[in-house]
A and B are shown apart, each in its own frame.
Chain A
Amino acid sequence: MLGNMTLMEYLGGSREAVAHRPWPRYMLDERGWRDMIHQLAVSDWTLLGLWSDGTEVYVALRDDVGPTTATAVASLFCPDRRFPSLSAVRPSAIRLERALRDLYGLIPVGLTDERPWLDHGRWGMTAPLAMGRGPAPDAPYDYPVLPVEGENLHQIPVGPVHAGIIEPGHFRFTCAGETVVRLEERLGYTHKGIEGLIAGKTIAEAARLAGRISGDSTVAYALAFARAVEAATQAEAPPRAHWLRALMAELERVANHLGDIGGICNDAAFAYMLAQCGTLREQILRASDVCFGHRLMMDRVVPGGVTVDLTREGASTLRSLIADVTKRFKKLANLYDDLPSLQDRTTGTGVVQTALAHRFGVGGVVGRASSRAGDARKVPGYAPYEDLEFDIPVHAEGDVNARVWVRIEEVRASLGLIGQILEQMPGGPLHKPIPTRGGEGMALIEGFRGEILLWVRLSEVGRVVRCHARDPSWFQWPLLEACIEGNIVADFPLCNKSFNCSYSGTDL
């Protein structure tokens, strides 16, 4: 069985689920699942996601070695509420399996980390999404951090309430003097139970929740949910809707990257860049408000299309916005390039080794700053990006500076995309009703942080049975722990901001 096989050669012979779109789902038995784990050990397939609905576990994989790429889902029915863990062959599965165990009570056999992840012992129950919920724990759980041994080490606990205006999470630094020996994250503080809330909702209600999984990526999540629902029901949004979605998605990407570039420079004590980028970002949010009626464009992308059209005046507003932002951003990028004192802080700081980036299958800015060239807009690709020209910037250094440059180049690329979209956008209707039909659908969408996976199962009466969203941050957070090693504590804000992982997106 082992050897040089493609993903489809390997899974293709298995029993296929009837209505899983657009990529197939293969139903494995336990032996098949174990064989797949062995095969994963000798292959480079990327783990895209791992989730459950309480009775089955699902793993999404991508084979992007060679000229063609393939995406597929494998699933395992777990009648005895256990499944063989993937954590030994894919470390990116560790936290996903811990989360899945907390929510559904399924036991990943072979997962060495026994500690709960999302469950802090404060829900008044255990396994909240299992068919039969578990009893409430007597008290909130203690969370033993991993032991660190050595002379003259000290710990610095930070959070969940941080000094700045950011989301809550706990960081435990173990340091030797100024130098960080190990960082361990404890997250889960913003767990809202979104998978549980979405189950049983109508598609419209669920879309609203999906758009609030991570507010800064609301367009990307709404798009992922819409495309997953459209895949499940074999519906297709009208052409103009695809273009308007891409327009909003690129505006969101530019706005967020501007915020991050300013924020990173500010954490290196260069406040001027924050002020300038903040002003540009504000211009984009105001234009979004004028054109689409919401600064963050929440609830504008829905299954079946979009809820709002771009008027002729709106298009001309955006054209002059893009011209102005392009001109001013060019000066700021040159300025960043021109300041050795700033680059002294960002260069060589927080290096993510390429080998580690590959092991975790990390995408987005973090991946592209460490030689991983993936972008869901290209592979697997979705409308209308096949009609648009844009480059995916890739750097190899893996440091904060590389992550700044990836963002700078992505801002330029997205501004170019917005211009092309405004020129080429076709006319026509904005929305087409979603047929009432059951099925399973999955979408892979490139948000500003990286690739979002969203999977949905719909009932015959058009309700959401189960919805799982995997934020790109799931695979980025562990690399933040790794990249700070050997850096000084004072550079943590810089490293952290250069990742800008989502807490809400991973806590769910």
Chain B
Amino acid sequence: MSRLLRLIARDLLRGPRTIDAPPADADAVAQLVARLGERAQACLGRSLRIRVVDAGSCNGCELEIHAVCNPVYDIQRFGIDFVASPRHADVLLVTGPVTTNMAEALQRTYDAMPAPKWVVAMGDCGIDGGCFAGSYAVLNGVHAVIPVDLTIPGCPPSPEKLLAGLLALLDMTATGT
């Protein structure tokens, strides 16, 4: 136990490894203005709860979602966090091209979320199927099943990109613009 306390003390003296926040993604803001308009409400109080659904990703996007939770990006400092139940979520973050085997589970998760709710399609294959487009087992993007408010391109998008996109969403929904 003393070893643990020594390590914690050293970390406290060293200071956080967390990096500065990236600016909200300008492309994402433009996308959201077009998409949300007056639908956005100033009701979230800079608090955003996200439910993630992997709709058939290669698991690369999941690695980067985990990364934004690490101490370097520390997404929780912005009031953004991931929740276990869609009932508690404001945002549905979807990865993968949407396989036919996951379409119903995705739809049901979306339906279980209370309004207002937003959908973010993460990664190139979530946007239009990416390199998996055209397969018998794939629906070529999240929009084929549920309405998408924001896309975050990349294969996979870097944690900075993901953070910037989510910060844009947070700003938009909080200010109502």
Q: A123-B137, A124-B100, A338-B3 are in contact. Are A189 and B71 (CB under 8 A)?
A: no
Partner-contacting stretch, out of B29-37, B59-67, B142-150: B59-67
Size bin of chain B's contact surface: 35 or more
Which residues A305-338 have CB closer than 8 A to chain B?
331, 334-335, 338
- Chain B 91-124, CB-CB to A under 8 Å as 1, else 0, gives 0000011011111110001000000000000000
A190 near B99 with CB under 8 A, answer yes
Kindly list chain B residues whose C-beta atoms are within 8 Å of the C-beta of A503.
59
Which residues B21-69 have CB closer than 8 A to chain A?
52-67, 69
Chain B: minimal CB distance from A118 (Å): 8
B56 near A189 with CB under 8 A, answer yes
Query: Residue B4 at the A interface, CB < 8 A?
Result: yes
Chain A: minimal CB distance from B146 (Å): 14
B70 near A279 with CB under 8 A, answer yes
Nearest opposing residue in chain B for A274, CB measure: B70
Query: Residue A177 at the B interface, CB < 8 A?
Result: no
Additional pairs, 20, CB under 8 Å, beyond known A190-B54, A209-B131: A120-B101, A124-B136, A161-B86, A166-B54, A167-B59, A168-B102, A190-B57, A190-B101, A192-B138, A193-B135, A193-B137, A194-B135, A215-B57, A216-B63, A218-B60, A276-B7, A278-B72, A285-B67, A338-B4, A504-B59
Query: Residue A458 at the B interface, CB < 8 A?
Result: no
Kindly list chain B residues whose C-beta atoms are within 8 Å of the C-beta of A224.
none
Nearest opposing residue in chain A for B86, CB measure: A161
> In the complex, what distance in Å separates the CA atom of A191 from the CA atom of B102?
9
Closest 8 CB pairs of A and B: A215-B60, A278-B70, A163-B84, A193-B135, A215-B58, A193-B137, A212-B58, A122-B100
B59 near A502 with CB under 8 A, answer yes
Kindly list chain A residues whose C-beta atoms are within 8 Å of the C-beta of B70.
275, 278-279, 281-282
Chain A: minimal CB distance from B99 (Å): 6
Kindly list chain A residues whose C-beta atoms are within 8 Å of the C-beta of B56.
168, 189-192, 504, 507
Q: How many residues of A contact B (CB 8 A)?
A: 54
A189 near B59 with CB under 8 A, answer no
Kindly list chain A residues whose C-beta atoms are within 8 Å of the C-beta of B131.
197, 208-209, 212
How many pairs of residues, A versus B, come closer than 8 Å at their CB atoms? 155
Which residues B74-98 have CB closer than 8 A to chain A?
82, 84-86, 96-97
A124, A168, A196 pick with most chain B CB within 10 angstroms? A168
Chain B: minimal CB distance from A287 (Å): 13
> In the complex, what distance in Å separates the CA atom of A140 from the CA atom of B104?
11
Query: Residue A295 at the B interface, CB < 8 A?
Result: yes
Nearest opposing residue in chain A for B63, CB measure: A216
Q: A190-B57, A196-B136, A272-B8 are in contact. Are A278 and B99 (CB under 8 A)?
A: no
Kindly list chain B residues whose C-beta atoms are within 8 Å of the C-beta of A208.
131
Nearest opposing residue in chain B for A166, CB measure: B62
Chain A: minimal CB distance from B34 (Å): 29
- Chain A 188-212, CB-CB to B under 8 Å as 1, else 0, gives 1111111011000000000011001
A167 near B136 with CB under 8 A, answer no
| Residue in contact with B58 in the complex, picked from A214, A275, A281, A289, CB distance below 8 Å | A214
> In the complex, what distance in Å separates the CA atom of A278 from the CA atom of B68?
10
> In the complex, what distance in Å separates the CA atom of A233 from the CA atom of B71?
46
Nearest opposing residue in chain A for B135, CB measure: A193
Nearest opposing residue in chain B for A164, CB measure: B84
Query: Residue A301 at the B interface, CB < 8 A?
Result: no
Query: Residue A380 at the B interface, CB < 8 A?
Result: no
The 23 listed contacts between A and B (C-beta, < 8 Å) are A120-B101, A123-B137, A166-B54, A166-B62, A167-B62, A191-B56, A191-B101, A194-B135, A196-B136, A197-B134, A209-B131, A209-B132, A215-B60, A259-B66, A272-B8, A275-B71, A278-B70, A279-B17, A335-B4, A335-B7, A338-B3, A502-B59, A504-B57
Which residues A228-285 have CB closer than 8 A to chain B?
259, 272, 275-276, 278-279, 281-282, 285
- Chain A 65-101, CB-CB to B under 8 Å as 1, else 0, gives 0000000000000000000000000000000000000
> In the complex, what distance in Å separates the CA atom of A278 from the CA atom of B58?
20
Which residues A140-167 have CB closer than 8 A to chain B?
140, 160-161, 163-167
> In the complex, what distance in Å separates the CA atom of A259 from the CA atom of B67?
10
Query: Residue A296 at the B interface, CB < 8 A?
Result: yes
Query: Residue A339 at the B interface, CB < 8 A?
Result: yes
Query: Residue A125 at the B interface, CB < 8 A?
Result: yes
Q: A209-B131, A295-B158 are in contact. Are A215 and B67 (CB under 8 A)?
A: no
B53 near A161 with CB under 8 A, answer yes
B58 near A282 with CB under 8 A, answer no
Nearest opposing residue in chain B for A281, CB measure: B70
Kindly list chain B residues whose C-beta atoms are within 8 Å of the C-beta of A191.
56, 99, 101, 137
> In the complex, what distance in Å separates the CA atom of A485 from the CA atom of B58?
29
A160 near B3 with CB under 8 A, answer no
| Residue in contact with A282 in the complex, picked from B62, B72, B82, B155, CB distance below 8 Å | B72
Nearest opposing residue in chain A for B6, CB measure: A331
B135 near A161 with CB under 8 A, answer no
Query: Residue B165 at the A interface, CB < 8 A?
Result: no
Query: Residue A419 at the B interface, CB < 8 A?
Result: no
Query: Residue B156 at the A interface, CB < 8 A?
Result: yes
Query: Residue A213 at the B interface, CB < 8 A?
Result: yes
> In the complex, what distance in Å separates the CA atom of A289 from the CA atom of B101?
34
Chain A: minimal CB distance from B71 (Å): 5
Which residues A12-58 have CB closer than 8 A to chain B?
none
Kindly list chain B residues whose C-beta atoms are within 8 Å of the C-beta of A192.
56, 97, 99, 132, 135, 137-138
Kindly list chain B residues whose C-beta atoms are within 8 Å of the C-beta of A166.
54, 62
Nearest opposing residue in chain B for A167, CB measure: B54
Query: Residue A226 at the B interface, CB < 8 A?
Result: no
